[in-house]
Every structure is written in C-alpha cells, then in structure tokens.
Amino acid sequence: MNEQPTSPSLRSLVVVALVVSAGVGGVLAWYTTHPPPTSYPGDGPSLYLALQEVDRVVQNTTGGPWQLFSYDGFAAQTSFYPGAVGFAGATNLSYRYCGAQFNGLTIWNGSDMPIFTGSVASGTAPFWQFEFYANASQGVLVATDTLGVVRAYSPIYPSNPCWQYAGGPSASFYETWLEPLPTDSSAQARLAYGVGAGQFVAENSPIVEEFADGFSPLSETNHGPGGGIEYSQCGLVGAAGQLPAFDVGFLSDGTVQGYASMSLSCTAIKQLGPPTTGWPYRIGFQPNTSSILPAPVGWNTSTLPFQVEFPPNGSVTSTDYDAWGLTSWMTRLALTNGSGGSLPTSYPSCQSWVPSTANCSAGSSGWYALLLSAYGMWLDSYPSRANGSAWAIPNVPLVSGEELVLVYPAAWDASIGTLTVTGVASIPTVSGSVPV
C-alpha cells in the first residue's frame, strides 16, 4: 500500500506482506464456542474483551509461554477483504502458505469477514486476529475472535513456510511494542472520533475501521507506539484506485500522538492525477493443460493456471509477477467460439464442499469457471447465475499461482475458442486471454 500523507504527524510502520487464500491443513489446536454476548451481534467486542477470551485459550496451548506481538481488528461496513492491499514479503506466497495453514477465517482467508453494523466510535469490531510468540521454541500461534467466538490454531515453527509471513523473524522485536498493552480500542475510538475520524466517516461511508499494533501481515500499518486506527475504503467491494483515508496514532499513555488525512493506493497506481492513472494488471495464463479434474458426464474441463502480473509499462521494463490489489469483482470473463462469437454462460449447481467437479454439473447449457487456490481449494465461481457477469463471491483475491477450471459442454469441443479476462472499469485495467 502506498501512501501520500498530507501531514507528517504519524510515525509510519511499513510492513511488507502477501495474500493467502483458503487452504488445507492447519489443524485447530483449540476451539471454544462461548456464545457471543447479546451486545455483540453485528458489533463485536473491543480489543480488551476479545484478547481476554483469546488469551484464556492460547495460554493453555502447549509450546508456550506465549507472548502477544500482533493484533489487527476490522470493522467493515460492507463486503470486505483485508488482504486486498497486499501482504508482506510476497503476496502470492503469503497467501498460498498461510491461507493453507490456517483453514478458517483469518486475515489471509478473509472473504467471509462479517459486516459491521455498530458505531465506529464504539471501538468494537466483529473480527480480531492476534499473534503470539514463544521465545524458547520460536513458535508462532495465530488466534481469532469472530463476534465473540474464539479460534486458536496449532502453532507453526521456522520449518513451516508460513512462519516468516506470519511474523516469525521479527516477533521478538514486536513483543516490546505490546508490553504494556495500549489502551482499549473503545477509548481510542472515542478519541479518534473527536479529532476528525467522525467527519471522515460521515463524508466517506461505507468505510473499514482497522485497529492495529505490533507486527501486521498486511503491507502497511500506521500507528504510534500505543497503537492506532486507520479509516479507509481499501479492501471494500467497489473500492479501487487512489482513495482518501484518515489515520490516528496513540502514545503509550493512551493520548493521541497525531492524526493525518492520507491518500491510499487501494490498487496499484502508475501516476497520481489529475487524472489518476492506474497500473495495468495482466493475467498471464500458462499453456492450457489437460485437466486432472474429473468432469460431469457430458461435460469437459480445462485447467488454466495463471500469474497476476504488472507488465512492463513506461520506464519500467521488467514484469512483476507478484501483482497485488486485484480482487474478483474487478474482473469479467468471456468465452468465444473459433469464429469469435460469444458462448453462453451457465453456473455451477453445487456448493464448494463437493468432492470433485464430477459432482458439479452446470445449472443450464453453458460454461462456467471455478477459481482454485494453489492447493486446489475452491475459492470462487463465475458467473453467479446463468448469463450473469459477476462472481459468486465478489471479494476473493486473484494472485499468482491460482488457476481457473473451465467447465463446458463436451459437444463444444470442436468449436470452443478463447477465454478472455477484462476489467470492469478504467481503474484498474485488466487483460488476459488464453486459447482453450
């Protein structure tokens, strides 16, 4: 995430991060089912309330003692994916390894993030993610609170490829940022609201309110030594390009350190305006491969692995194969026959949990596509209905290493032509095509 602050009143922590999707493995160490208090629906707990419940579970997990070194809380007023702005290190690797490791709702697997219906001045959030570190074993433990329901995952260690993207190498440093804990988010939100956040929210809703301190898997977090709050639209469905944001940082004693109006690149920007120019995205398909996935009777499948790239542009002469910022709502798919005519779409008449595509026939005579992770897990499908032009889940990240599986009637084999990916707006521009 690139920032153009209008005031240098905040200390800025830049953390490089990646995006991770749904995955396999990641056995849960502990899972508590405390019923959410009646005050939580659509709202969630504050930092202290969430951490209190999470810590009870974490400190009973073997491998400790466990020391907090990271937290992120999100209160989004509409459909939202936290990793849309990119992850630290390499987007596709963080998304691949950590998404597969933690097979529930996390920052990496965040397309089902609950929508916040409370007041942004309350300091509550429906989703919190905490990370803990064991200095002796070098273990990293990720735990979440979703509307009062706590989930803690099995610790990971340096031999696990997710460990470095979950903050393992720098965890011992960030422990000091959270000892002692900053003031509760309820107090911080009230102060932030009074110094300008209230006006920003009134003028820019819907927004997402992010609470953070210590390490963050996300690409950039701004806060003071006592934590901070960022108000923006980045990651919301429909948000792209250069958009306003408002940041508030706090001192260790809970007072406001500073606040600033910001300009955030929610998708990659080539040049600030006016007019603003977005960096183009290219879907680089690998050669069409024979699908290893079984097809429903009377249907064929084609597996199409792809990279999400920033192609050479202007003075930049090399391709970046780890593009960040692209989510499903920003793209449309089209399939043509050999003479260029458009072929009709269908939709999958099944759910993501079916054992294979053989159990997933189309709802009508036409084609559809599945988006799978690098590990073959179902992430999304296109379109959401026959003759539609939208994804079933609008906020799933598109990153290098994923693949599209095209499902189409076997009778089309002789006439099928090219699959094309385009964008839905001028920012961002998206292009890509592959013969099928």
In this structure, the answer to whether residues 236 and 296 fall within a common structural domain is no
In this structure, the answer to whether residues 74 and 184 fall within a common structural domain is yes
In this structure, the answer to whether residues 207 and 253 fall within a common structural domain is yes
Query: Is 2 inside a domain boundary?
Result: no
In this structure, the answer to whether residues 257 and 296 fall within a common structural domain is no
222-256 pLDDT, tens per residue?
A: 567 899 999 999 999 999 999 999 999 999 999 99
In this structure, the answer to whether residues 308 and 256 fall within a common structural domain is no
In this structure, the answer to whether residues 256 and 107 fall within a common structural domain is yes
DSSP designation for 5: -
Query: Is 171 inside a domain boundary?
Result: yes
In this structure, the answer to whether residues 105 and 17 fall within a common structural domain is yes
Position 423 scores a pLDDT of 96
What total of structural domains would you count in the chain? Answer: 2
Distance CA 29, CA 204 (A): 40
290-303 pLDDT, tens per residue?
A: 555 677 778 888 89
Average pLDDT (19-33) is 30
Distances (CA, A) of 149 to 40, 59, 310, 393: 10, 17, 39, 23
Query: Is 244 inside a domain boundary?
Result: yes
Distance CA 330, CA 253 (A): 42
- Name all contacts of 350-357 with Cβ < 8 Å and 24+ positions apart: 352/378, 352/381, 353/378, 356/293, 356/294, 357/293, 357/294, 357/295, 357/296, 357/301, 357/405, 357/407
In this structure, the answer to whether residues 352 and 231 fall within a common structural domain is no
100-147 pLDDT, tens per residue?
A: 999 899 999 999 899 999 999 999 999 999 999 999 999 999 999 999
Distance CA 120, CA 236 (A): 16
In this structure, the answer to whether residues 90 and 172 fall within a common structural domain is yes
In this structure, the answer to whether residues 160 and 298 fall within a common structural domain is no
In this structure, the answer to whether residues 221 and 317 fall within a common structural domain is no
CB proximity list for 88: less than 8 A, separation 6 or greater: 15, 16, 17, 18, 94, 165, 216, 217, 218, 219
φ/ψ region of 44 (left if φ > 0, alpha if ψ in -120 to 50, else beta) reads left
Query: Is 83 inside a domain boundary?
Result: yes
Query: Is 39 inside a domain boundary?
Result: yes
Whole-model pTM: value is 0.87
42-93 pLDDT, tens per residue?
A: 699 999 999 999 999 999 999 989 999 999 999 999 999 999 888 877 889 9
Query: Is 275 inside a domain boundary?
Result: no
Last residue of a domain, one of 235, 266, 297: 266
Last residue of a domain, one of 237, 266, 295: 266
Query: Is 5 inside a domain boundary?
Result: no
Last residue of a domain, one of 266, 296, 326: 266
By residue range, what is the domain housing residue 218?
A: 12-266
